[in-house]
Amino acid sequence: MGLGSALGQMFSKILIANRGEIAVRIIRTARRMGIRTVVVYSEADATSLAVEMADEAVAIGAAPAAESYLKADRIIAAARETGAEAVHPGFGFLSENAAFARQLEAAGIVFIGPGPDAIAAMGDKIESKKLAEKAGVSTVPGHVGAISTVDDARQIAREVGYPVMIKASAGGGGKGMRIAWSDAELADGFRSATNEARNSFGDERVFIERFVQSPRHIEIQVLADAHGNVIHLGERECSIQRRHQKVIEEAPSPFLDEATRAAMGEQAVALARAVGYRSAGTVEFIVDPDRNFYFLEMNTRLQVEHPVTEMVTGLDLVEEMIRVAAGEKLRHRQEDIRLNGWAIEARIYAEDPERGFVPSIGRISRYLPPEEKDGVRIDTGIVEGSEISMFYDPMIAKLITCGGTREAAIERMAQALDRYYIRGISHNVPFLRAVVGSARFREGRLSTAFIDEEFADGFSPEVTDAEQARILTAVAAVIHRRRVERDATISGQLPGRERVVATDWVVLLDREPHPVKVEAETDHLLLQIGEESCRVSSGWAPGCPVFAGLVDDTPVAVQVDPDGAGYTLTHGGASVRALVLSPRAAELAALMPVKQPPDTSKQLLSPMPGLLVLVAVEAGWEVKTGQELAVVEAMKMENILRAERDGVVKAVLASPGDSLSADQVILEFE
């Protein structure tokens, strides 16, 4: 178990074998505990926030993870060189690598996590399912064994019954997973799942289990020490997912009752005991509409979404992991655990929701997060000027809010997202705001198909209701008046020709006209928008990127970006161009033609930067709607591009192995 565990003494120095927000997160807890920290870093992270915050930093290689963060020998050498007594792996990279844990143990360095045997047992999805069944844990019907050929997979799928889930045995993070509803889909899914498993984990084994329809993804946080004590800390609802990757999580679940929560907790604890678990870990379940639950997998590490559990229990899971690794007994019994209030986490990614969530790479030119107060927490590893690299997960930050009720936590989340100002790269903040603002989310009617069903035609940041249009119209009129008021004070104006602040305007929201009259009162502006009136008060001044104030008595935050003669306003998941004109200018603007975008209907474009893995057609071939045309790999995920309509291939303009940019033409059609 390592020196620290054997002696039961707290560490004086630990090494963090990770990067980004989780490295910063661990540093903060270690600092509070009086423990010095060492971070390892790649060439891409030399100027990162984690490197700046840590007491010591050691370079371990080039930017690709395979040449740095996955090099166990370099990490161990760094620990020896700096005198670190223990290593915290965070999540991802080597956090669930049993061989790494054994190497640390052999080197006399404590692994802040479970023992290697538990990691190995739970890391193999096939073996973990067998162990779960022996421990009395409910499991999904399926074939518990590796499948080597498409023919075998097809036969097993027919026996299990469609729809089925094809899953990588060594999988995680949504990689190596495909749903198949028929024999035809099974062949494509089997190939892609196998390829992703091989590329991501070096293990191409896959298995098949029944796909539970309309499921929720609910997980139980467990905590165990080396003295036989195991407890659970309640559940997290992680059903808002995209391509099997979590987007929004919350604790507790709005779906579970006390009986189901207790039963799931008992089974999670039983599984942890069965594998001799110690440290923090998570047992994941899928739950059907009747609250029947089935074991999915056990993650033998800290979860990305652990903050929501911390917010409702008051525990610091990183601290608990460190204390357990140092040989201490758990400081809490099961009866001590209480879930107080509600917490929600939104994962903020560098990606473009309007283009199918393709990753966005580049430098963050402006970064103005909401204030961390009144139930708002931000876990991040970036600052203004940070680079989002193609080599790692595109996460920018995790935004966590809490409140006494679920409604209060949601409202804080909505307000915080409206204030989260990020520029320089594309990001998913407007999409997250649209999710938490949707009626279905607020009602708690969740499933893992939520995003596919609610955004079936993709995401478009458009104004969706009259109230949102009213708020944006009011804000546009107010910020424009403030600019005009400032211009009216400029010196050197000709006598008798001074700038006059008008009261009548027309606000064009994406060319839709909204007549507005603006009158100044003592401490607010009074607006007449069509037949309705409203009061707006705010301290906003020209140049401020976020308008914060009250529209009537409702707190409102709107992001403001200059856009030519107008503004781009972002609020409530919508992003619109606002142009404020005099009534006469608005009449003339209505006569202006609208510029049409170029026609790309006869081209297949790469939806993202990535590697072209496969071109499945040749020039002259006839293709049918839905036929596979090409496969592009990005962030180790395979993306199959299919024909949107029948046609004939005119030319193939890219070859397998090419590195593609976003919108690069792959095929042309006649």
The pairing of beta strand 342-349 with beta strand 351-352: unpaired
Q: Are 397 and 21 in contact (CB under 8 A)?
A: yes
- In the sheet that 628-634 helps form, which strands lie side by side, from edge to edge? 637-642, 628-634, 610-615, 659-660
CA distance 141 to 161: 10
* DSSP secondary structure string for all residues of 221-233: EEEE-TTS-EEEE
* Strand extents, DSSP E, 11-104: 13-16, 36-42, 56-61, 86-88
Residue 623 parent element (H or E): strand 622-623
Residue 297 designated active-site: yes
Number of H helices, E strands in the chain: 18, 39
Residue from 21, 297, 320, 351 carrying the catalytic annotation: 297
342, HSE (Cβ side, Cα atoms, 13 Å):
18
Q: Are 641 and 618 in contact (CB under 8 A)?
A: no
- Tell me if residue 415 falls in helix, strand or coil: helix
User: What count of other Cβ atoms lies within 10 Å of the Cβ of residue 20?
Assistant: 24
Torsion of CA 466, 467, 471, 473, to 10 degrees: 10
CA distance 459 to 434: 9
Amino acid at 332: H
Those residues whose C-beta lies under 8 Å from the C-beta of residue 203, and which sit 6 or more positions away, are 168, 169, 170, 197
CA distance 636 to 632: 10
CA distance 74 to 81: 10
Q: Which residues are catalytic?
A: 297
